[in-house]
Amino acid sequence: MSEMTPINNDSPNKHENPGHPGEDTAAIAGMYKTWFLDYASYVILERAVPYVEDGLKPVQRRILHSMFEMEDGRYNKVANIIGNTMKYHPHGDASIGDALVQIGQKNLLIDTQGNWGNVHTGDSAAAPRYIEARLSKFALEVVFNPKTTVWQLSYDGRNREPVTLPVKFPLLLAMGVEGIAVGLASKVLPHNFIELIQGSIDVLKGKKTNLMPDFATGGVADFSNYKEGLRGGRIRVRAVIEKIDKKTLVIKQIPYGTTTTSVIESILAAVEKGKIKIKKVEDNTASEVEIVINLHPEASQDPDKAIEALYAFSNCEVSISPNSCIIEDGRPRFLSVNEILEISTRNTVDLLKLELEIARDEKETEWHYNSLEKIFIEKRIYRSLEVCETWDQIMDTIEAGLKPYLKNLRRPVVHDDYVRLTELKIKRISRYDANRAEEKLLAIEAELAEINDNLNNLKNYAINYFKELLKKFGKGRERRTVISSFETIVASKVIANNQKLYVNREEGFAGYGMKRDEFLRDCSDLDDVIAITGDGKFTVTRIAEKAYVGKDLRHIDIFSKNDETTTYNMIYQDGKGGPIMVKRFFISGITRDKVYDLTKGADGSKILYLGVSGPTNGPRVNVHLKPRPKLKNLVIEVDFNEQLTKNRSAIGNVLTKFPIAKLRVMGGGDPGTGTNAGSAPNPAVTPKPVATPAAAVKNTAESTDDTPKTGSNGKTQIKLEF
């Protein structure tokens, strides 16, 4: 332990060893104090997070550098590439092989040969000894340049490797990256090759960019909440599903991050749970995705709903949360993809400038050497060397011979220039062509003029560079993922009815497992149930096998959230002996399992009438008052269509303060939805009259006629007496 961590004798953690006087010990806490921080920094900087300069993790950079080192235009066995890369990467062959396959599958930097797996099916690549790879022409052009590369020693000090590669392209955004470090993670999604180049051109022209991801697996994506790839953003990607006929669907493209295997497994899982009705699934995927889905006869009646169910309950739709974390200036930063594009574009411009400056220096050096050679030969200075006996005499003779012509040169003549002239061979001197030498100098001067012009117009030069990249490598890289906007699918609306709702009114229970009790309607296990009791209370709860919903049920049915078309029409008594109130309302914006009160909340309040209808077909109810002195009008007609429809929290209007003898429903609304009907059918479903158990009218009314009658006007009448 002491060899790994030196002990500081001045450390406050130092203690004298009582067993061995004079010897010092160090507290464990002091030795481990910075180890975790060191480990976290190492994982972040050297393992998981890409550098913004070249868009690569260290393992990827080392693989590409190793392949460039081995580059001879021919394919190399992947096993050989892995072995050579181990000189630079200290984490074993498995991590190198996995990273190499991932780079190869992105079809940008590496030309592959053999079975490299399938991104559609998730099939893995063949063993490294069976597959081959070489750098692509694109990689050779934009990724490597030893003259502009900054080098460092490898982990064992035996070799040198690049700090970052001089990439002249937004490679990070083109390939995408995922990595999990200590305390943070990075997930940059891949973007379209052509759009990235056009985006870089727009950056150089001062235009605003708005990049959207593009996936090799295609699909349809909603990027409305992408947030430029920053934390907190979210995108939704859907498979492309085509209708062959009413009974057959075909999945042609799958979402990013899924495989045909995972999609099929998620579909079968949904079928097993009864959420989707599908007869058979076939995987015919080869080079392109093709998953054939044969619908069940029930689902084939509405294939559009079946498609929505596939999106809702399977991996035909996935949600992806980006997190563009990168390394810049030796520390992690969270930058938007548009900011990363700007940094990459500026980096490309700087590299192009550096390459031009290096090329200018090389051309000026070449012009200088050719000019010296021209003077040395044409002025026959080499002949003066014949009489020289020492090296110093040779140097002095060359210097004296060149001196009259130095004003024509562009840089000072140094000792190395004289040495180089002495190395000219007799054959070269004897075959010297003055005209050809002059033409060469003129060509160098033209190249220098062009280089200087590009340096003076660096922005235009960079724009032309990107345009040339697009021309050479853009073919076949068009966008595959369709940008769209689609609504969130409500699962409860597209799920197949895989359950049945039953109710036991006497005990106050409801659920899909009570098969011996009263059947209400078909439903799904994602539905909510609303139950209204005679005291004016109601709750909405998730459907269960068996759940208590309350006794004295006045209404129980499947509840649709934010449904403002289902209208409730209610007459209630406010407290014991209190006034009679009337209200018309809709129910929305509720919290599950919370008890709500539809009355004013006074003790002894009770529902006298409750009917469910649509917004325009409210019922008409005649309210008969008990006779009393001086009370002439004993019948009050309530037309709920004339009542304002308000929120459930509204207390309603006072109908009368006198006692009621009976209520008679004259018509309108849905038959069987009154207080004695027990259950209100969904307005979209043709309702059936439901007989009322005695418990349903306990403490509120006793019906003098339990059976709905038809009046002279042909409308249904329900009579309630008090």
**Rounded distance between C-alpha atoms, residue 376 and residue 468, angstroms:** 42
Q: Do 516 and 636 fall into the same domain?
A: yes
pLDDT tens-place string over residues 153-175: 999 999 999 999 999 999 999 99
**Rounded distance between C-alpha atoms, residue 51 and residue 179, angstroms:** 12
Question: Across the chain, what does the average pLDDT equal?
Answer: 84
Q: Residue 114 sits in a domain of what CATH number?
A: 3.90.199.10
pLDDT of residue 327: 87
Q: Do 708 and 581 fall into the same domain?
A: yes
Q: Residue 262 sits in a domain of what CATH number?
A: 3.30.1360.40
Q: Do 567 and 666 fall into the same domain?
A: yes
Q: Which residues contact 642 (CB under 8 A, 6 or more apart)?
A: none
**Rounded distance between C-alpha atoms, residue 325 and residue 334, angstroms:** 5
250 lies in a domain? yes
pLDDT of residue 354: 96
Q: Do 138 and 256 fall into the same domain?
A: no
Residue 235 carries which side chain, given as an amino acid letter? I
Q: Which residues contact 555 (CB under 8 A, 6 or more apart)?
A: 530, 531, 532, 538, 568, 610, 612, 673, 678, 679, 680
11 lies in a domain? no
Residue where one domain finishes, among candidates 263, 293, 320: 320
By residue count, the chain amounts to 722
333 lies in a domain? no
Report the range of poorest mean pLDDT among 218-222, 234-238, 471-475, 659-663. 659-663
Residues paired with residue 607 on neighbouring β-strands, in sequence order: 572
Closest CA to 611 of 707, 557, 679, 553: 679
What average pLDDT does the segment 706-715 reach? Answer: 38
**Rounded distance between C-alpha atoms, residue 438 and residue 618, angstroms:** 103
Q: Which residues contact 705 (CB under 8 A, 6 or more apart)?
A: 719
CA atoms within 13 A on the CB side of 339: 14
Closest CA to 188 of 64, 314, 339: 339
Report the range of poorest mean pLDDT among 47-61, 440-454, 483-497. 483-497
pLDDT tens-place string over residues 569-589: 999 999 988 999 999 998 988
Q: Do 649 and 513 fall into the same domain?
A: yes
Closest CA to 49 of 257, 323, 321, 234: 323
pLDDT over 50 at 699, yes or no: no
CB atoms within 10 A of CB 271: 19
Confidence of residue 25 (pLDDT cuts 50, 70, 90): low
Angle at 432 between CA 430 and CA 438, to 5 degrees: 165
Burial annotation 355-367 (CB, 10 A radius, 16+ → b, else e): bbeebbeebeeeb
Greatest mean pLDDT among 9-13, 20-24, 67-71, 652-656: 67-71
DSSP 8-state symbol, 670: -
Q: Percent of the chain at pLDDT above 70? A: 86
Task: Decide: 260 and 283 in contact? Cβ < 8 Å.
Answer: yes
Domain count along the chain: 3
205 lies in a domain? no
The yes-or-no answer on residue 130 being catalytic is: yes
**Which is the catalytic residue, given 51, 130, 405, 432?**
130
Confidence of residue 66 (pLDDT cuts 50, 70, 90): very high
Where are the alpha helices (H) located in 325-433, listed in sequence order? Answer: 337-378, 391-402, 415-422, 426-430
Parallel, antiparallel or unpaired: strands 606-613 and 567-573: antiparallel
pLDDT over 80 at 107, yes or no: yes
Q: Percent of the chain at pLDDT above 90? A: 51
**Rounded distance between C-alpha atoms, residue 76 and residue 85, angstroms:** 13
Task: Decide: 562 and 589 in contact? Cβ < 8 Å.
Answer: yes
Angle at 199 between CA 194 and CA 203, to 5 degrees: 155
Residues paired with residue 622 on neighbouring β-strands, in sequence order: 637, 664
Residue 170 zone, left/alpha/beta (φ > 0; ψ -120 to 50; rest): beta
**Rounded distance between C-alpha atoms, residue 327 and residue 186, angstroms:** 10
Which residue would you say has higher pLDDT here, 78 or 23? 78
Q: Do 512 and 614 fall into the same domain?
A: yes
pLDDT over 60 at 685, yes or no: no
Residue where one domain finishes, among candidates 264, 290, 320: 320
**Rounded distance between C-alpha atoms, residue 325 and residue 333, angstroms:** 6
Q: Do 533 and 668 fall into the same domain?
A: yes
Residue pointed to by tokens 């960079």: 462
Helix (H, G, I), strand (E, B) or coil at 252: strand
Angle at 434 between CA 430 and CA 436, to 5 degrees: 105
Closest CA to 585 of 650, 633, 638: 650
- Cα dist. 189→171, 173, 556 in Å? 12, 7, 48
pLDDT of residue 33: 67
Q: Do 266 and 131 fall into the same domain?
A: no
What average pLDDT does the segment 648-669 reach? Answer: 86
Which residue would you say has higher pLDDT here, 498 or 621? 621
Q: Do 543 and 662 fall into the same domain?
A: yes
DSSP string, 30-61: HHSTTHHHHHHHHHIIIIIS-BTTT---HHHH
pLDDT over 90 at 128, yes or no: yes
461 lies in a domain? no
Parallel, antiparallel or unpaired: strands 499-504 and 518-523: antiparallel
pLDDT tens-place string over residues 436-484: 989 999 999 999 999 999 999 999 999 999 999 999 999 999 999 999 8
**Rounded distance between C-alpha atoms, residue 316 and residue 241, angstroms:** 9
pLDDT over 50 at 674, yes or no: no
Confidence of residue 692 (pLDDT cuts 50, 70, 90): very low
pLDDT tens-place string over residues 218-232: 999 999 999 999 988
- Cα dist. 116→62, 71, 79 in Å? 20, 20, 13
- Distance between the two ends of the chain, CA-based, in angstroms? 92
Report the range of poorest mean pLDDT among 310-319, 336-345, 481-490. 481-490
pLDDT of residue 671: 39
Residue pointed to by tokens 């093709």: 290
Task: Decide: 230 and 492 in contact? Cβ < 8 Å.
Answer: no
Report the range of poorest mean pLDDT among 64-78, 167-181, 480-494, 602-616. 480-494
Closest CA to 219 of 248, 257, 246: 257
Residue 471 carries which side chain, given as an amino acid letter? K
342 lies in a domain? no
pLDDT of residue 712: 37
CA atoms within 13 A on the CB side of 586: 17
703 lies in a domain? yes
Q: Do 544 and 688 fall into the same domain?
A: yes
Q: Do 143 and 239 fall into the same domain?
A: no
What is the torsion angle, in degrees rounded to the nearest 10, for the CA atoms of residue 158, residue 163, residue 167 and residue 168? -130
Task: Decide: 576 and 603 in contact? Cβ < 8 Å.
Answer: yes
pLDDT tens-place string over residues 248-290: 999 999 999 999 999 999 999 988 888 888 889 999 988 899 9
**Rounded distance between C-alpha atoms, residue 241 and residue 309, angstroms:** 12
Closest CA to 282 of 268, 302, 271, 269: 268
**Rounded distance between C-alpha atoms, residue 490 and residue 305, angstroms:** 11
Parallel, antiparallel or unpaired: strands 580-586 and 528-533: unpaired
pLDDT over 60 at 689, yes or no: no
Residue where one domain finishes, among candidates 320, 342, 366: 320
Task: Decide: 580 and 657 in contact? Cβ < 8 Å.
Answer: yes
**Rounded distance between C-alpha atoms, residue 403 and residue 283, angstroms:** 83
pLDDT of residue 496: 66
pLDDT over 70 at 197, yes or no: yes
**Rounded distance between C-alpha atoms, residue 573 and residue 74, angstroms:** 92
**Rounded distance between C-alpha atoms, residue 408 and residue 398, angstroms:** 16
**Rounded distance between C-alpha atoms, residue 106 and residue 101, angstroms:** 9
339 lies in a domain? no
Confidence of residue 693 (pLDDT cuts 50, 70, 90): very low
Q: Domain limits at 135?
A: 56-147
Beta strands, E only, 381-464: none
Residue 142 carries which side chain, given as an amino acid letter? V
pLDDT of residue 364: 93
Q: Do 110 and 251 fall into the same domain?
A: no
